[in-house]
Structure 1
Amino acid sequence: MRNMGFRKRRGDTPNIQFKESMNSLPEIPLNSSLDLNIDILKSAYKDCADVVFRNFSISSEINAVLLYIDGLSNTEEIDQHVLMPLIQLKNPIEGPIFERVKKEISVSDIQEFSTIPDIFKQISIGNPIILIERQTKGISVGLPKWEKRSIKEPDAETVIRGPREGFVETLRVNTSLLRRKIRHPLLKMKQISIGGYTETQVIVAYIEGLSQNSLVDEVTHRLKRIKMDGILESGYIEEMIQDSPLSPFPQLLNTERPDVAAACLLEGRVVILIDGTPFSLIAPCTFTSLLQAPEDYYNPFYISTLIRWLRYIFFFIGLLAPSAYVAILTFHQEMLPTSLLLTIAQSREQIPFPALVEAFMMEVTFEALREAGVRLPKQVGAAVSIVGALVIGQAATAAGLVSSPMVMVVAITGIASFLVPRYAAGITIRLLRFPIMILSGMLGLLGVMLGITTIVAHLCTLKSFGVPYLNTAVGLKLRNIKDVLVRAPWWAMDTRPELFSEDTRNPRREAENQMPSPEKGDGGS
C-alpha cells in the first residue's frame, strides 16, 4: 500500500497512511482554518479531475467551500437546494452559524462530521461536503446521483412463472426490492464495508425471530474477517466465507431474483447483498436446494413434484451416464441385450480408440462448444453451439473417430446438465463427470461405485454455516422432508425447516387447518 502524506503549514500536519481501508485512517480532526482543511483535501485528491472544490461566501461575510465528485452527486439539486439558498442569504447571521446553515439547506438527509476520514467516506458515496470557516465540523448533504441499470427480468435465471424483476448493481435498489416483498420491520439489514480501496458496501439481511442469532453472527463475523484490496463481485465474498474452500460443491446459493431471496428469508436463512453486482448470496445452502427451482412453488404441487423427480433423474444421468456406458462396454458387456450389443459392436468396428478415450474426447469437445457459445455474442452464440455440435458430431462419426451411440450418450448427458436449475451445481456435475469416467475406464462399475461412494462421503461431512449439506439424512423428520423429493402443498408445509430456524420464536409459517375444503352451501339459486 502506498503512503499519502499531507503537508501542513509550519510542518505540524500529521501524515495519513492508507493501510487496509479508510476505516484504518487516523481520526484526524478538522481544523478551524478553512484554508488548511482545503490544502489537506487538495493534497489527498491531487490529479483527481472529477473532484470539484467550489468556494463561495455565506451572507457575503463567511467563507465556505463545497466539495463533491462530479458524476456521483446531483449537481442540479446542489445548485438549487444548497448553493443558491446560502449564497442569496443577505441578512447578517446571528447565533450559531452551523445551525443556521443547516436550516437554509432544504435537504432531508443532513449529517455532521468532524474528521478527515469522514469526508473521504461521504464524498465517495456521492454526498457533497460543506466546510465553513472557523468551524471544526462539516456538513454532509445527502444528494447522491449516478447512472444505474433499470430493473428487468434476470438473464441468468429464466422466469417461467413469477415476478419478472431482478436485482441490479445498485445496493439501495436491491434493498428496496426486498422491502417491497417483506414489509415487516423485523426485516433487518446490517451494513458492512469491505475492501481497502473499493470500500464495497455489503448488506446482511435477515428476519429477526426467524433466523438463528448464531447464524447471523457467524455470517457477520466471516464478512468482517475479509481483508483485501477490493470486492468487485459476489464471487469474491463467496470464496472467502465458505466452510470448505476446496469442495467442488457450492456452499452458498446465488440468485438475481428478489422473490427467491425473500422466500429464503422467510425460511430463516440469511441473504447477503453486495453493491456493484446483481447477484446476492444466500446462506446456508443444502444439496436439495440446488435442485429446487422458484417455479416449483408457483405451480400446482403435483406438477412441481413430477418435474422435480425428472430433475433428480437427469441429475444422476448427467453425472453417471458416460461413466456407466464406458464401464459396460469395457468390462460388463454381458449386461447388454445381445441385439443391442451387436448394434454397438457394429458401430464401433472402425473406431480406433477405446471407449474411455472416445468418451473423454467427445465430452471435452462438447464442453468447449458450450463454453464458446457462452463467450460469443448472443446473436451468434446459440447458433454456433447448435451448428457446431451437429457438424462436429456428424463429421466425427463419418470419419470413424467416434461411434453413433457415444454421440447420443454425450448429447443426453449435455441435455441432462441443463435441467439443473442452479448454474453452480451444473458446473459441479460437469467437473465430477471426468474423474468418475476415468475410474469407470480403469475399474468398470466398481470404479463408478467408488466414485459415488467418495462423493456421498464428502457430502456427509460437508457443512454450510453449521448446517449439514445433506440435511435430509439428519433425523429424517417430516418437517424437513416436505420439500425434498416432493413439493408438498402449501397447506401442508405449515412449519419452517428446522435446520434453518430451530431456535426461533415463530416456527410456524401459517395457521393450522389451512387445507381448503368445499363450502357447504344452502343450495340457493
Structure 2
Amino acid sequence: MNRNLLLKLLKKRQPAPPVQEQQHAQNTQHLLVPDLQSNLNLLHSIYANCSDVVFRTFYIGGTIKANLLFVEGLSNCDSIDMYVITPLLKEDIAGFADMKQLAERIISVSDAKPIATIEDCVWYAANGYPVLLCENEAQGLALGLSKWEKRGIEEPSAEVGIRGPREGFTETLRVNTSQIRRIIKSPRLKMETMKIGDYTQTNVTLAYIEGLADKTLIEEVKNRLHRIRIDGILESGYIEEMIEDMPYSPFPQLLSTERPDVTCGNLMEGRVAILSEGTPFVLIAPVTLFSLLQSSEDYYQRFWIATITRWLRYMFTLISLLLPSIYVAVLTFHQEMVPGSLLISMASSREAVPFPAFIEALIMEVTFEALREAGVRLPKQIGAAVSIVGALVIGQAAVQAGLVSAPMVIVVAITGISSFMVPRYIVGIAIRMLRFPLIFLAGTLGLLGIMMGIIAIVLHLCGLRSFGIPYLASVAIPKGGELKDIFVRAPWWMMNTRPHLTGDYDQYRQSASQKPGPERGDEK
C-alpha cells in the first residue's frame, strides 16, 4: 500500500467553507469498490497493528461473501451476533438484491446508514458502528450497535445547589443532548454536529432554539468552530480558547456548566450551547459579567431571598478582590484612616513581624492559594480536611513564630471565604489572579495605586466582548427589562421579556398579566 495514500486516509482534513469542502471531498474521498477483497486490503492496511479491530468474514446464505468490521469494546457483540450475523447466515440469497434491501428486509437494526467511502468506514467503526461490506457491492452499511462503558448521570460536583435538579451532564455526547431534549421538547430546538480534530475526530454539537437565537450569532459560532485546525479535542476547554474574542483576558468569555437546567435556561434566553464528546462541561455563548455571577439556584428560591443572596455575592466578590490590597495600603501609607485604639492593637501585633505588610500579604496569599490547590488535587475524603487543618495549623504557627501578624491572618481568611461566594470557579480564578497586582500597587502607591488598578480593570471589562456582545452590556446599555435580573431577581411573573443579545429576537417570554393572587369576584 502506498505510504502517501495511507497518510491521506488517516489524516482527514477538517470542515471548510461549503465550496472548498465539496472540492476537498472530491479530491480525498476513496470510494468503496464492488471487489470486497480490495476494500478489505485497504482497511487492513489502515488498521495494521490494531489488535482490537475485528474483521469478521462470513457468507450470506452460505454463498455471498461478506465482512463485518467493528472495534471490540465500542460495539455490542451480543447484538451483532443476534441481529446481524445470525439472520444473514440463515438468509436465502434469492431475496437479496442490494444493501438497501438487506437493511429493509433482513437486518433488524433501527439505525442502518448506507456508506460509500473508506473514510466513512473508518469513522463509523471508530464511533462503535459495525460496518457491513459485501461482495459485488460498492456500498456498505453502518449499523447503530455501539455500546461502551460510560459513567452514569450524577449530581454535578462543581455546581452544587440546595434546590433544583440533581442531574448533571456526563462524558457521553448523546446522553447530554438527550437531557437537553427531555427538558426542551419543542422541535425548534436544533442540534448540529460536526467533527473537530484530525486524530480524535471529536463530535461537537451546536445547540440553539430556532427563532430565539439570532441567525448572525449562530453563523458566527459556526464559522469560529469551522476555523479550528488541531490534531485533537480532549475537553471543551480546547474549544473555548480557540473561539473566544480576547484570549489574553483573565476573564472567561464563555460560560462552562455541567448542569442541563442552566444550559436550557440560557438556550431559552437566545444563547447557543456547544457540547463536546468526552466532557461533561458545556459551553454557553455569549455571556456577560453579571450572568457569570449568577447561580442557578437564584431562580429556584423565592425572589427576595435570591435578591439578598445576589447582593451578598456581589459584595463579597469585591471583598475577595480588594480587601488584602486595602489592608496593605492603609498600613503602609494611610495609618490616619485607622481608629487609634485599633491602630495600636495592630501595631502591637506586628511588632515582632520582620516583613513589611506588602511582603507579609504576598506570603500569606501564596500560602493560602497553595493550600487551596492542594485541597482540590487531593482525594475528596481528605482534601477538605487537609486544606482546613493546614490553614489553621500554619496560620497559628506563623503568628506564634512572629512571621505574620494575626490581623493579616484574619484578612486572608476573610478573603478566602469571600472567594468561595463566586458561583463560577473560572471567575474566581480570574479574581484571585488580579488580587496580586492590586496588592503590588497598594504596597507601592497606596490607595492611589488601588484606584489605578480598579480603573484599569473597569476599562478592560468595558472593552471585552463575548461573540461581539459587550461584557458589561446589561449595565453600560441599561434596559428596563434586563435590569430586573441584574441587581435584583424580580419575581417570575414580572420577568416577561428576554435579554436582548444581538439582532432580532423574540422579546416576550410570557404574558404580562401573570401576577398571582386570589381571584376577586368583581374581576370575573
Alpha-carbon offset, residue 445 of structure 1:
0.1
2:196 is aligned to: 194
Seen in structure 2, the aligned counterparts of structure 1 residues 127 and 322 have a Cα distance that, compared at 3 Å, is same
Alignment of 1:59-98 (within 5 A): 59-89=61-91, 91-94=92-95, 96-98=97-99
2:312 is matched with which residue? 310
**Partners in 1 of 2:58 and 2:403 — Cα distance?**
79
Contact 2:14 2:226 (C-alpha < 8 Å) held by counterparts: no
TM-score by length of 2: 0.95
Q: Paired residue for 2:288?
A: 286
> What TM-score comes out, normalization by structure 1 length?
0.95
Aligned to 1:11: none
Amino acid paired to 1:520: R
Where does residue 507 of structure 1 map in the other structure? 507
* 1:181–1:35 Cα change, 3 Å: same
1:59 Cα shift?
A: 1.4
- 3-state SS, counterpart of residue 93 of structure 1: helix
What is the DSSP-based 3-state SS (H/G/I as helix, E as strand, rest coil) of the residue aligned with 2:516? coil
Rounded Cα–Cα distance in structure 1 between residues aligned with 2:335 and 2:387:
34
5 Å-filtered alignment, 1:270-285, equals: 270-285=272-287
Helix, strand or coil for the counterpart of 2:363?
Answer: helix
Distance 2:107 2:356 in 1: 80
**Cross-structure match for 2:472:** 470
Task: Write the letter of the residue equivalent to 2:208.
Answer: Y
- What does the per-residue CA deviation read over 1:261-306, in whole Å, with 9 as the maximum and x for residues that have no partner? 0000010011111000000000001000111000100001100000
**Could you tell me which residue of structure 2 aligns to residue 28 of structure 1?**
30
Note the 1:243-254 alignment, pairs <5 A: 243-254=245-256
CA distance in 2, matches of 1:50, 1:258: 35
Matches within 5 A, 1:142-153: 142-153=144-155
Does the Cα contact within 8 Å between 1:195 and 1:227 map onto a contact in 2?
yes
Match of 2:18 in 1: none
Given residue 288 of structure 1, which amino acid in structure 2 is its aligned partner? F
Deviations 1:487-522 (A, max 9, x none): 11111110000125x512x21111121111222369
Percent identity over the alignment? 57
Give 2:216's aligned residue: 214
Equivalent residue in structure 2 for 1:107, among 109, 115, 135? 109
CA drift of 1:115 comes to 1.2
1:509 partner amino acid: R
In the aligned structure 2, how far is the partner of 1:498 from the partner of 1:54? 56
Please state how far the C-alpha of 1:159 moved relative to its aligned partner.
2.1
Task: Note the C-alpha offset of 1:95.
Answer: 6.1
Q: How does 1:160-199 map to 2 (within 5 A)?
A: 160-199=162-201
- Which residue number corresponds to residue 9 of structure 1? none
Check 1:355–1:82 CA distance in 2 against 1; reply closer, same or farther (3 A cut). same
Tell me what 1:154 maps to. Answer: 156
Q: Following the alignment from structure 1 to structure 2, what is the Cα–Cα distance between the partners of residues 95 and 231?
A: 42
* 1:516 and 2:509 correspond: no
Within 1, Cα distance between the matches of 2:121 and 2:93? 28
Distance 2:362 2:210 in 1: 50
Separation of aligned partners in 1, 2:3 and 2:377: 40
Assess if the C-alpha contact under 8 Å between 2:270 and 2:501 holds in 1.
Answer: no
What amino acid is aligned across from residue 378 of structure 1 in structure 2? K
Deviations 1:164-214 (A, max 9, x none): 000000000000000011000000001111000000000110000001111
User: Deviation at 1:121?
Assistant: 1.2
Give the equivalent residue in structure 2 for 1:363.
365
Quote how far apart the aligned CAs of 1:17 are. 5.9
Cα distance change on mapping 1:324 and 1:137 into 2, 3 Å: same
Report the more deviating stretch, 290-299 or 28-37: 28-37
Contact 1:4-1:18 within 8 A present in 2 as well: no
C-alpha contact (below 8 Å) 2:9/2:119 kept by paired residues: no
2:345: which partner in 1? 343
The change in CA–CA distance for 1:256 and 1:99 in structure 2 (over 3 A counts) is closer
For 1:401, the aligned partner's letter is L
Gap regions ≥5 residues in structure 1? 7-13
